[in-house]
Amino acid sequence: MEHALELDGSEPLTAATVKAVAALCDHTEDRDERGAAVVHVTGAPTGHWTSGLDVMLVTKWERVLRRFERLPTATVAVARGDCGGTALDAFLAADLRVAAPDTRFLVARDATATWPGMAGYRLVQLAGAARVRAAVLFGRPISAAEARTLGIVDTVADDPAAALAEAAALAEGIAGHELAIRRQLLFDAATTSFEDALGAHLAACDRALRTPAAEEVEAS
């Protein structure tokens, strides 16, 4: 079952935005279903969009995004048009990312420079520093086609709804808590040596072998 949220990056970050993402996380965790949590994103900030922000609100936003990023279910983001600010943040935090052909991704700028939030960090993690340097430092837009080449987008589709259904189907039948373990192993692989990672992978293998499903297959 799909649990969906719409985010407009042209609107300023507010406490209500944080609560909306937290509510999506609450709903997903409370239902404990196999399926996907979906965010539909569009819009990018313009003008003096940081005027009402403070670091406490930004901290709450980054924390709720990290919670979304670690949900015990698959997360899917669908983008269209220009995407920046909260729209870009949420899009980059998803497991599977779909974009319409007209999508452009922009690291928002304030009066003096690009915004130094975690969107830049996630872009580098996904694509590498050299390939997103102009976007992170100067706010150069990344087109949907370029984002696909860079690994920022999984699917560029004229029919995002069909691509969303296909992306959600990938998660069908996968237990959420097991998905969360695989995701963490994936995150850790970028910064952990083989020797340090081995124990966590073996523990996950042992857990998988002890599940009722694995026992049933072995018994048959």
Asked whether the beta carbons of 96 and 170 are under 8 A apart, the reply is yes
Helix or strand run (H / E) with residue 81 = strand 74-83
Give residue 206's pLDDT.
82
Other Cβ atoms less than 10 A from the Cβ of 137: the count is 12
48-83 burial, b at 16+ Cβ within 10 Å, e below that, comes to ebbeeeeeebbebbbebbebbbebbbbbbbbbbbbb
Whether 182 has a pLDDT exceeding 60, the answer reads: yes
Q: Which residue has the higher pLDDT, 72 or 9?
A: 9
**For 117-137, what is each residue's pLDDT tens digit?**
999 999 999 999 999 999 999
Asked whether the beta carbons of 93 and 70 are under 8 A apart, the reply is no
Whether 1 has a pLDDT exceeding 70, the answer reads: no
Whether 40 has a pLDDT exceeding 90, the answer reads: yes
Whether 99 has a pLDDT exceeding 80, the answer reads: yes
Share of the chain above pLDDT 70, in %: 90
**For 150-176, what is each residue's pLDDT tens digit?**
999 999 998 877 877 777 777 666 767
Whether 106 has a pLDDT exceeding 70, the answer reads: yes
Among 34-38, 103-107, 119-123, whose mean pLDDT is lowest? 34-38
Q: Which residue has the higher pLDDT, 191 or 97?
A: 97
Residues 58, 181: Cα–Cα separation, whole Å: 27
Residues 205, 117: Cα–Cα separation, whole Å: 35
Tell the residue number behind the tokens 């072998």, with chain if given. Answer: 209
Whether 213 has a pLDDT exceeding 80, the answer reads: no
Among 17-31, 133-147, 178-192, whose mean pLDDT is lowest? 178-192
Q: Which residue has the higher pLDDT, 82 or 109?
A: 82
Asked whether the beta carbons of 49 and 84 are under 8 A apart, the reply is no
Asked whether the beta carbons of 93 and 61 are under 8 A apart, the reply is no
